[in-house]
Amino acid sequence: MGTHQSNRFDIAIVGAGFAGMYALKQALDSGRSAIVFERGDDVGGTWYWNRYPGARCDVQSMEYSYSFDKQLQQDWQWTERFAAQPEILRYAQHVADRFHLRDHIRFNTVVASADYQDTKNEWRIKTGAGDEVFAKTCIMATGCLSSTNRPAFDGIDVFEGEQYHTGLWPHQPVDFSGKRVGIIGTGSSAIQSIPIIAESAAHLTVFQRTANYSIPAHNGPIDEAYAADIRSNYDDFRERNKQMFAGFGADQARSDLSVFEVSDEEREARFEVKWQEGGLGFTSTFGDLGRSQPANQIAAEFVRDKIRATVNDPQVAELLCPDQVIGCKRVCVDTNYYKTYNKDNVTLINVRDTPIERLTKTGLIVDDTAFDFDMIIFATGFDAMTGSLLKIDVTGREGVKLADKWAAGPTTYLGLGVHGFPNLFMVSGPGSPSVLSNMIVTIEQHVDFIFTCLDFLRSSGFTTIEAEAEAEAAWVAQCNSIAGETLFPTCNSWYLGANVPGKPRIFMPFVGGFPLYQSICEEVRTANYKGFHLAS
């Protein structure tokens, strides 16, 4: 552990994913003492934990990367259009080494509690091992998708075969060859891994509760001429991406036209172009897909037709056809997903109407039918956005617990601060555009906002900053009102907390888009942190 000898720091950061690493870099560059706590034994966060086969980004690598260092973005060469997990992890490790971050990170260390010491205006951070550090500012860089969700099926512990969760994948290769494998879930993690598991498993059985829309990635080696072109003016590319609703896709065609403004032929042709382009840009083919149910249905039917044209067995194809609004759950990006169901060794089981009853020693039971497996994979996602934060016992001013304050759902100001919790910042917390954006763009914006704010406090003689109750209430209302104008709240997504039984249903991310969010933050900054209470 570094050269800092005491247990007092200017800043304590929880998490060493992209958010925690950049926050640490900013802390050190601004001459502050800092410590990072990380549960894993290395940096990378998401890309450290999610080592399942096929894991890769769904935002293109040239965009899903840090912009804070001009030389870094010139030096690092991505090998694929959508980099795979090992390459993204190597990138995170490279950043940690390049900027000498590791000395300040305490790995294999879980933060168990953080409590605000009213009299001293500082945070006491306690680790699971009972160690304590004190810091003036605490930054929760704990990740939106870092607390795995493992449904509490009856008999969860009795299965005697191998069991894995995609979000806690082992570091050693997992061998599927000759094995009967069951996978629960058909979200992005499952959709990426199913085609690869099916290549070597003796048999793969997929348990699907909700069919998902997936767009082909058309992944491949990076086009060197394209990458060189971006590098020749990377700053401009980054800037143009920041003007995009989700912080990426500036070099891909999008349209504000309504689906209904063009002829049938042109509409199909435009969808086909976006389908062939691949990736998340499909939902930007027309401007009204996120707001108008009839428009959305037309895009949804285009994808369903693609599924029907790909999957040989019509019954399986129909089961794979989603019926919810396209985009109200995160759209998936795949390589060979639908065509995997044409393989003889792959079976799809619908558990929408007849849920998984229980696990047994040898497999699981659905609708009185027993399925025997050598291995079961939980691709069942995450307790998103609040899970990791609430696993920490966070106590704010006057003994208020974050868990109590958020009992009916999370409330924040800008997704960055919470009333009652002075000098505590979250990176991409509930109320931030986070998961609806290119997250590295959002992370950099949040961290820059936090450090500009800390500089302001330092230069103006303030020692505490805390979200005002009224500003927080207004932000929650604004988030809800914008979400209400979209189709997002129409289905049972993890954005709403609907995937975790008992979790309050609140639409958690800010849906107004990255540019609007950034301009609101800028207004707050120029008005000397309007909505925050500052005190000396």
- Tell me if 142 contacts ligand FAD by CB under 6 A: yes
493 belongs to the binding site for ligand FAD (CB under 6 A): no
The answer for residues whose C-beta is within 8 angstroms of residue 208's C-beta and 6 or more apart is: 185, 186, 319, 320, 348, 349, 350, 351, 352
Minimal distance in Å, beta carbon 32 to ligand NAP? 32
Helices (H), 254-401: 264-277, 293-310, 314-320, 387-391
Minimum Å gap between C-beta 48 and ligand FAD is: 6
Q: Measured in Å, how far apart are the chain's first and last C-alpha atoms?
A: 32
**Site for ligand FAD contains 40 (CB under 6 A):** yes
CB 395 within 8 A of CB 114: yes
**CB burial class (10 A; 0-12, 13-18, 19+) of residue 448?**
middle
Q: Is 412 near ligand NAP (CB under 6 A)? A: no
Q: How far is CA 315 from CA 174, 307, 312, 348, in A?
A: 32, 11, 9, 10
Residue 91 or 207: which CB sits closer to ligand NAP? 207
Residue 324 near ligand NAP by CB under 6 A? no
* Minimum distance, C-beta of residue 13 to ligand FAD, in the bound complex (Å): 9
Residue 153 in contact with ligand FAD, rule: CB under 6 A: no
The phi, psi pair for 263, rounded to 5°, reads -70, 165
Residue 151 contacts ligand NAP per CB under 6 A: yes
CB-hemisphere CA count at 13 Å for 99?
Answer: 23
CA pseudo-torsion sign 259, 264, 266, 271: positive
Q: Which of 24, 114, 41 is nearest to 396 (CA)?
A: 114
When asked if residue 206 is in the footprint of ligand NAP (CB under 6 A), the reply is no
Q: Rule CB under 6 A: which of 44-73 touch ligand NAP?
A: 57-58
Determine, following the binding rule CB under 6 A, whether residue 146 of this chain makes contact with ligand NAP: no
Q: What's the min distance (Å) between Cβ of 459 and ligand FAD?
A: 28
- Positions in 436-465 near ligand FAD (CB under 6 A): 438-439, 443
Considering only residues 73, 241, 284, 388, which one is a binding residue for ligand FAD as defined by CB under 6 A? 388
DSSP class of 223: -
Q: Is 300 one of the binding residues for ligand FAD (CB under 6 A)? A: no
Shortest distance, position 173 Cβ to ligand FAD, whole Å:
18
Which string of x and - marks every residue 99-138 that binds ligand NAP (by CB under 6 A)?
Answer: ----------------------------------------
The region of 156-164, 196-204, 367-375, 379-387 touching ligand NAP under the rule CB under 6 A is 379-387
306 binds ligand NAP (CB under 6 A): no
Instruction: Classify 504 as helix, strand or coil.
Output: coil
The binder of 141, among ligand NAP, ligand FAD, none, by C-beta within 5 to 8 A per type, is ligand FAD
Question: Please, what is the minimum distance in Å from the beta carbon of residue 190 to ligand NAP?
Answer: 6
Token digits of residue 158: 């009795």
- Counting every residue, how long is the chain? 536
**Identified binder of ligand NAP from the candidate list 380, 388, 434, 442, rule CB under 6 A:** 380
Reduced to 3 states (helix: H, G, I; strand: E, B; else coil), residue 372 is: strand
Q: Of ligand FAD, ligand NAP, none, which one does residue 210 interact with (CB within 5 to 8 Å by kind)? A: ligand NAP
| 403 contacts ligand FAD (rule: CB under 6 A) | no
Residue from 65, 67, 146, 285 in contact with ligand FAD (CB under 6 A): 146
Nearest to ligand NAP of 82, 529 (CB atom):
82
Tokens of 141: 């860089």
Stretch that binds ligand FAD, among 264-272, 311-319, 385-393, 507-515 (CB under 6 A): 385-393
Residue 243 tokens, joined: 């003007």
Closer to ligand FAD by CB, 302 or 507: give it.
507
C-beta contacts of 320-326 below 8 A and 24+ residues apart: 320/208, 320/211, 320/348, 321/211, 322/210, 322/211, 322/212, 322/213, 323/211, 324/210, 324/490, 324/491, 325/293, 325/296, 325/300, 325/487, 325/490, 325/491, 326/213, 326/283, 326/289, 326/296, 326/299, 326/300
Contact between residue 267 and residue 259 where contact means Cβ atoms under 8 Å apart: yes
Query: Three-state SS across 95-138?
Result: HHHHCCCHHHEECCCCEEEEEEECCCCEEEEEECCCCEEEEEEE
Our finding on whether 494 is near ligand FAD (CB under 6 A) is: no
Q: Does 219 bind ligand NAP (CB under 6 A)?
A: no
- Least distance to ligand FAD from the beta carbon of 180, Å? 25
Encoded amino acid at 193, one letter: S
What are the C-alpha distances in Å from 184 to residues 48, 170, 194?
Answer: 22, 18, 11
Chain contacts with ligand NAP (rule: CB under 6 A): 57-58, 145, 151, 166, 184-190, 192, 207, 209-210, 330, 333, 351, 355-356, 379-382, 435, 494, 499
Residues engaged in binding ligand FAD (CB under 6 A): 14-20, 37-40, 45-46, 48, 50, 55, 57-59, 64, 110-111, 141-146, 189, 388, 391-392, 427-428, 438-439, 443
